[in-house]
Structure 1
């Protein structure tokens, strides 16, 4: 059971001195079996309305330095957050992400309404192939870092505030105006940097078409970042994680135990309305779907 599993896991991570090699082998085999079962489970009864995608570098005995863990997390129709899939691959690889998404579709996953991720991910091409109706939202944390890195140090504080004006705007109209302000302020000197925002404007402002209570959840991939921040901390100390599959399985078990503490999204009752096709303007419900339209 996962109850007695967690202290064993922490002990294993802290120092494997307290566990016999046989115990570690047995635990590792169990984790891998659990991860495999998780990756094969039926998804047809679960409806993920929103999803976050990211490729996370774990620094645990990777055979290839660039290989990451591809993570898909979702919000179910009842507003709870859940890990959907986790496998290894390259962040930038459309093929790796397409493999993951095709596998989810094969196991019965429906197209999410909105997907959130970093623009550099190979995920977007894969999403267009597997779930072409899903809308795209670019992560603002990744985007802001990407824009600020391209500016001289002296320009960064003001530019950071100008970017925050966009994603913290009170509605989509004000956000679009803030994009124009940003363009006016930086376009003459840094046209390439400004294009990083204007070229992706639709995908950066998509979250404004959803309930206002959900905006904070939908404009970044923070749910993945914050989960993996704790995993990273605890996997760094492991010397003998063994094979890549064992390391992945260990990370899966850590996330599985963390998942019990994840909070549902704000206003969870609105998630089902989003799935049903309700329209939101300025973050507020304007049109309930026809009950027969289902």
Structure 2
């Protein structure tokens, strides 16, 4: 599988929207503490404990906390440096570019073929690039590349269970 990181900021916001104000500070503190840990198993345990505490009174919130749990901790599992984790834990960079592409392509009424779509998307990306700033942790990107390659290798090493055929 591909390593996917879901936005921690949006996840926290969605959780807070469903909680009463008196639970915001403690919930936000647990989420932040989990996301700042270097150990993904400990982080997952913290988040699961939070969900367990909320399960009785707020089952919907507890389910929301657990939904996508693996994808919320991807940058922690990859053991990335803290500064790079902070930069990649939020999807705003990608969403900003996608919004620019939508804006650039919204007036196209008739898509002739795939090549035309690619040209328009490229034009949108060029437009979006005008507003790009350097990633704060840009010097750590080789670490990200190495960790993603190692992740891919670990996945390739896992044996696949044989498929049994029903008679």
TM over 0.5: yes
| Aligned counterparts, 1:132-147, within 5 A | 133-147=1-15
TM-score (norm 1): 0.38
| 1:169–1:175 Cα contact (<8 Å) kept | yes
Partner residue, 1:222:
92
Q: Superposition pairs for residues 191-202 of structure 1, below 5 Å?
A: 191-202=59-70
The unaligned stretches of length 5 or more in structure 2 are 109-120, 155-167
Greater percentage in strand? 1
Question: Is the Cα contact below 8 Å between 1:211 and 1:270 reproduced in 2?
Answer: no
How do 1:128-207 residues align onto structure 2 when only pairs under 5 Å count?
A: 133-207=1-75
Specify which of 270, 276, 279 is matched with residue 143 of structure 2. Answer: 270
Unaligned runs of 5+ in 1: 1-132, 236-240, 280-286, 288-294
Give 1:258 deviation, angstroms.
2.5
Would you say how many aligned residue pairs link Structure 1 and Structure 2? 137
Partner in structure 2 of residue 244 of structure 1: 107
Q: Equivalents in 1 of 2:71, 2:143: separation in Å?
A: 22
Distance in 2 between the 1:250 and 1:244 partners?
13
1:256–1:212 CA distance, 2 compared to 1 (3 A): closer
Deviations for 1:8-67, whole angstroms, at most 9, x for unmatched residues? xxxxxxxxxxxxxxxxxxxxxxxxxxxxxxxxxxxxxxxxxxxxxxxxxxxxxxxxxxxx
Deviation at residue 222 of structure 1 after TM alignment: 2.9
What displacement does 1:172 show?
A: 0.7
Separation in 1 of the partners of 2:86 and 2:14?
20
> How far did residue 208 of structure 1 move?
1.7
With structure 2 as the length reference, what TM-score do the two structures score? Answer: 0.62
